[in-house]
Each structure stands twice: as structure tokens, then as C-alpha cells.
């Protein structure tokens, strides 16, 4: 916040607002085959219910009950495909209800994350770790990243307009040729702003002035 | 967003960050005496449970069940003192659960707001209007407003720091000599950021550049 930055003159045209569609992630569960076997029976195969917006990702017909020391949440959707390690993505509201303290994490970063119990039709399992609050992020195809000069791992600002307008800081950019341009927020974040699936938000690649952001 | 603003030079010292404690408002109900009579019985007097942070405001021992076309929320706290018109303040999450579409409103602005049913121990009433999503706001004592050069009705930016850092736009400033400095957000907004009661956020009186905000 030195004078240097504050007195840099910026051409408004250099501040690129990248329109990004929003996907609101409700609580959900990714499972390993080992845990599918325990919860649904040995060799059980998850059934695809419908494709999700990210290529190759899908919602399954199966749901589970998530149990914590202070509460229970039923009918939590399982997503496919299988993962090496089971992961339960919850909102802060969910964590209050369950009575757990899950950390804010990027997907897949599970070391030391919260314990939670999953109950299925055949069996149950208490995960020692695996429950997280997923950090908001933008899925970006390699071609989008090149177009906008962004790299995997960048953290940028995103503005959601409207009567409850907001600027999200520290939005992780994830780049892959398997991704489709989309920002994922959780239900708390979506409801704080009043966002619906498919709404457009605006990502800013900021170097220098960002007064454009908060006008 | 013209060039004029973007090329204004600002002295960082002129950008005042006003530290403001946060209060997270869970869903709650304000009642008129007429509705107290219906819900709890004629002449019933609400019992104070505990004082709230704003002078003269208090939580009552009484709770009500709020009913919408798609769901029910039990044990919703009644706040005192009585008001001329009953008002039900809900989060967007609550509205999804109830199946109603309450508008985003400043407190007291109830014309055309949503209908909802309240059920008490003695009777029930369906409000034709009165259910709102309360717009976030800052209660500010007259002396604070004078100190910071703000006026009742101003809308400003507020930054919440932390790993889920955010900038709230359009935060209403409410000034009264009966108020104590405090920002009120609802549970969706609080949980989106991971705020707890008493956390400090930073309000910005912005005229011109606000690059300070998003660094």
C-alpha cells in the first residue's frame, strides 16, 4: 500500500474484466473405492445421475448421511468419478450444524482436515480426515488462461454485481485442458450475494490500480 | 469508470479505514402488540431474555415457528421492543427452506415484502407482508458519523480480512444517537466470510481511488 502503487496511472482498458459463469456447489462427497465398498457393499459401482458442468464430473444417484458430534445432514450427494482419497465438502453453515471445524482448503489438500462420519445403506465409516470447506476457485481451460495471461495457482479478485454486490478476494485459479471456465462458490457464498447457477461474475487480473473493481 | 477517476492521485492517508465490530444477525422476528395478542394471547407481555448490543434492543424468551409453502423453521427468536408493524428477518438460505422469495430491504421498508406464517403457542397469523432479507448495514452513533464525515443513508464499502476475505459493497450507514458502532450482516454473509460476532471489519469512506481496498 505504498505511494508507488497509489500513484500509478492505469489505462482503464488494461483492467480486464473476465466474465465467468458461476456454479454453486452444495455440500457433496467424493469417495474412494475402498469407502464405496464399506458404505454400499463390496464391488459396488456408483450410478451416474447426471453430468456436471466440468467435463468428466458427474452427480451420482447415491447419497449418504453425514454425521458430526452435534448434528446430522441427510441426503448428501456423492459425486463421481472415484478419487484416491474420500473428501467431504461442506459449508461453514453445515459445519455449525454438524459441530465440526473443517478447515478452508483447496480440493485434494486433506492432511489434517476434519473428521466426520459417513453412513450408507450397508455400512458406515468415520473419516479421520477429509472434511473441508472448499476454497472458492475458478476452473479455467488452458486456452482461457493463455488468453487472459493467468496461471494455475494465481489468486485473483472476482466481483459479483447486484444489490448485494461483493468482491471476493483470493480466488484460486485452476488451469487444465480438462476444465471449462466456471467459478465455484459454496452455498454460503452464493446466498450471501444472492447468486444463482449460471449467473455471471467478473474476474479481474489486477496488477496496480483496481479502482475499477469497487465503483 | 471514466479516466478522470482512474487518474486521480490519492494520498493514502486520506483513505480512512474505520474499524467496526461485527454482529451476525440470525433470523429473528419483530412483533406488533396486535400480533403478540394473537400469537401469545391477549395482553401478553414479551419477556426479556437478554440485551442486544444496540441500546434498548433485546432478545425475548419467546420464539415462534415460521412456516412457508415449502418448509418450516422452528424456534425463531422474537426481539423487543414492540414495533408498529411485525417484521421477519430471514437469510436467503432460510427463504429457500421456506419456499418464499423475500426481497432485500432496509429494516422497516416492508411494503410489498413477502408473506409468511407465524405460529405461536396460542394462535397463528399469516402476514401478508413483513418477511425481508435485511440489507447489511452499519449502526453508527452520531459522534462516530461526525468523526468520519458520514451521514445517515450513505452506502459505503466494508472489507473483511482473512482467508475468505471479501469486500461488501453498498453497506448502508444508519446514524442515530441511540446506536452503537456495529456492522450487522446475516448468517449467509457471516458464514461466507467465516466471521464471528465481535470480529473487526474495516469500513471505507471512498471518494475517488480505493485501491487501498483490494490490496
Q: What is the pLDDT along chain B (215 residues), one digit of tens a residue?
A: 333 333 344 444 456 789 999 999 999 999 999 999 999 999 999 999 999 999 999 999 999 999 999 999 999 999 999 999 999 999 999 999 999 999 999 999 999 999 999 999 999 999 999 999 999 999 999 999 999 889 999 888 898 988 898 999 889 999 999 999 999 999 999 999 999 999 999 998 764 444 444 44
Residues 6+ apart with CB under 8 A from B20: B138, B158, B181, B182, B183, B200, B201, B202, B203
Using an 8 Å CB-CB cutoff, list residues of chain B that contact chain A.
Answer: 1-3, 5-7, 9-12, 91-93, 96, 104, 135-136, 157, 163-170, 187-189, 191-194, 206, 209-215
Chain B: nearest CA to A49, how far in angstroms? 23
A75 in helix, strand or coil?
A: strand
Q: Which residues of B48-60 are buried (b: 16+ CB within 10 A; e: fewer)?
A: ebeebeeeebbbb
Domains of chain A: 14-23+136-207 (2.40.40.20), 27-134 (no CATH)
Please tell me which residue of chain B has the smallest CA distance to A205. Answer: B214
Nearest residue of chain B to residue A208 (CA atoms)? B211
Specify whether the CB–CB gap between A15 and A9 falls below 8 A. Answer: no
- The answer to whether A191 and B184 are in contact (CB under 8 A) is no
- The C-alpha cell of B181 is what? 458502532
Per-residue pLDDT, A163:
86
Which residues of chain B have a CB within 8 Å of the CB of A10?
6
Q: Is the dihedral of CA A136, A133, A64, A41 positive or negative?
A: positive
Taking an 8 Å cut-off on Cβ atoms, the answer to whether B212 and A166 are in contact is no
Phi, psi of B136 (to 5 degrees): -60, 150
β pairing state of B17-25 and B182-186: parallel
Residue ranges in chain A whose pLDDT is less than 50: 1-13, 207-215
Using DSSP bridges, classify how beta strands B87-89 and B124-134 pair: parallel, antiparallel or unpaired. Answer: parallel
Task: Report the alpha-carbon distance of residue A6 to residue B15 in Å, rounded.
Answer: 11
CA distance B214 to A210: 7
**Residue carrying C-alpha cell 451521514:** B151
Of B10, B91, B194, which is closest to A6 when you measure between CB atoms? B10
User: Residues near B67 by Cβ (< 8 Å), separated by ≥ 6?
Assistant: B98, B116, B117, B118, B119
- A34, A85 in Cβ contact below 8 A? no
Whether the predicted model's global pTM rises above the 0.80 cut = yes
Contact B170 A163 (CB under 8 A): yes
Could you tell me which residues come within 8 angstroms of residue A198 by beta carbon, excluding any fewer than 6 positions away? A21, A22, A23
Q: How distant, in Å, are the alpha carbons of A53, A107, A144, A155, A156 from that of A151?
A: 21, 17, 10, 9, 11
Task: Tally DSSP H helices, then E strands, for chain B.
Answer: 5, 14
Q: What residues in B contact A207, CB-CB < 8 Å?
A: none
- Contact residues on chain B for A184, CB-CB shorter than 8 A: none
CB atoms A166 and B167 under 8 Å: yes
Considering only CB atoms, A191 lies closest to which of B10, B93, B210, namely B93
Q: Using an 8 Å CB-CB cutoff, list chain B residues near A210.
A: 211, 213-214
The confidence score (pLDDT) of residue A6 equals 36
Amino acid at each position: 500500500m505504498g505511494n508507488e502503487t497509489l500513484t500509478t496511472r492505469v489505462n482503464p482498458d488494461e483492467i480486464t474484466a473476465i466474465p465467468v459463469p458461476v456454479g454453486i456447489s452444495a455440500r457433496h462427497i467424493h469417495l474412494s473405492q475402498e469407502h464405496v465398498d464399506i458404505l454400499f457393499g463390496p464391488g459396488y459401482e456408483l450410478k451416474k445421475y447426471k453430468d456436471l458442468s466440468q467435463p468428466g464430473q458427474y452427480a451420482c444417484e447415491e447419497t449418504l448421511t453425514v454425521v458430526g458430534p452435534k448434528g446430522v445432514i441427510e441426503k448428501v450427494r456423492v459425486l463421481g468419478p472415484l478419487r484416491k482419497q474420500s473428501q467431504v465438502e461442506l459449508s461453514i453453515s453445515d459445519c455449525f450444524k454438524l459441530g465440526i471445524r473443517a478447515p478452508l482448503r483447496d480440493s485434494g489438500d486433506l492432511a489434517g482436515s476434519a473428521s466426520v462420519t459417513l453412513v450408507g445403506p450397508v455400512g458406515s465409516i468415520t473419516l479421520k480426515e477429509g472434511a473441508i470447506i472448499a476454497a472458492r476457485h475458478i476452473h479455467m481451460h488452458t486456452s482461457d488462461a493463455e488468453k487472459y495471461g493467468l496461471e494455475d495457482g494465481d489468486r485473483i479478485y472476482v466481483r459479483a454485481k447486484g444489490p448485494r454486490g461483493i468482491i471476493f478476494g483470493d480466488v484460486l485459479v485452476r488451469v487444465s485442458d480438462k476444465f471449462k471456465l466456471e467459478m465455484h462458490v459454496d452455498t454460503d457464498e452464493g446466498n450471501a450475494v444472492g447468486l444463482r447457477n449460471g449467473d455471471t461474475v467478473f474476474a479481474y487480473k489486477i496488477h496496480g490500480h483496481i479502482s475499477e473493481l469497487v465503483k
